[in-house]
A and B are shown apart, each in its own frame.
Chain A
Amino acid sequence: MTTVALVCYIGLAVASVAALVRLCLGPTVPDRIVALDNLLYVVVIGIAVAAATTGSGAFLGVLVAVSLLAFVGTATVARFIERRGGE
């Protein structure tokens, strides 16, 4: 289980760096939202992996909150772009 955790964390690090690069490069606001959304899902997956490998449920409340926040944030900025334009 420790090896699995290590491999998972390395994979999640690669995924989050890729999302961060796309977040910085853009070039439009919707591109950045998709990248940020993806970054939040990487965080959620990371918390779930940590909970599975340690057997501790201490951070599962954070898991619920972050996954809710990802949806609310995405929906809010999507409404914002629709009125204002995406450049």
Chain B
Amino acid sequence: MDEESGLGLDGDDFYELLLRCHEGLSEEDSHALNTRLVLLMAEAIGDIEVLDKLLRAAKESGKSLKNNV
């Protein structure tokens, strides 16, 4: 996961689009949007090995945070 960033120089553009997409939504609607987004991104990635790696990376980072607190 530490290889060359896939977003490259577009990171700030993506983050702005992401926040704009959430603008004005209730917390509940934002979480529903995130859920749909995960499913759409999974379909776009389309590689079960990559997805498995991403799922574990996301869970791992969550754990390290909880341990630090």
Tell me whether A and B are bound partners. Answer: no
